Structure 1
Amino acid sequence: MSGVAPTPEGITNPPIDELLTHTSSKYALVIYAAKRARQINAYYGQLAEGLLEHVGPLVETAAQEKPLSIALREINDGLLTAEPAS
């Protein structure tokens, strides 16, 4: 087999070490990314109904890209701000 393997996306891109610089712990990162992924998923679900209660992806997305991958890229690009729970 010859050729170049595609660059992996998702949990390996962006690297976990870069993502951890944006949160206080790996547990906070998981919750942060999961909440944003749910918002993105809800946004896509509402598009068909014509409702726009949630903000869509803030980065360029590829077809069939998973909401969690989108959320992780948004976090890594510094497009989201995490607020501590009260």
Structure 2
Amino acid sequence: TMINPPIENLLDKVDSKFTLVTLAARRARNINSYFNQLGEGLGGMIPPQVSSTARKPISIAFQEIAEKKIVWTEAPVEPELPEIEDDPDAEAQAAADAAESSD
């Protein structure tokens, strides 16, 4: 393969190629920001979690994913909102209440 660690190993850590690319891109952005702010002493970014000879942030991110330093978790499912029935009387009452409060 062209990348190290191999793509097959990386895909075992996540559920899809899209998730792999998204996770690696976010982490690479963080790593890049860390290296850019080093001289400023801000200390707000998390440094790379692996010792790597790679100098590119995306390669470091892939290595972190392969070594399970960066773990993908499913996003929480949004709760379902109750259905709101269309009630013309309720809309008329709301409009009347709004008119009274503006007076």
Q: Identity over aligned residues, as a percent? A: 43
Q: Secondary structure at the match of 1:32?
A: helix
Work out which of the residue numbers 36, 42, 59 in structure 2 matches 1:45.
36
- Does 1:56 find its partner at 2:54? no
1:59-74 equivalent positions in 2, closer than 5 A = 59-62=50-53, 65-74=55-64
1:5-84 equivalent positions in 2, closer than 5 A = 12-62=3-53, 65-84=55-74
Unaligned runs of 5+ in 1: 1-7
- Cα deviation for residue 84 of structure 1 reads 2.5
Larger Rg: 2
What is the aligned length?
A: 76
Query: What is the CA RMSD across the aligned residues, in angstroms?
Result: 1.7
Higher RCO by CA contacts (8 Å cutoff, separation 6 or greater): 1
Moved >4 Å (runs of 4+): none
Scaled by the length of structure 2, the TM-score of the pair is: 0.68
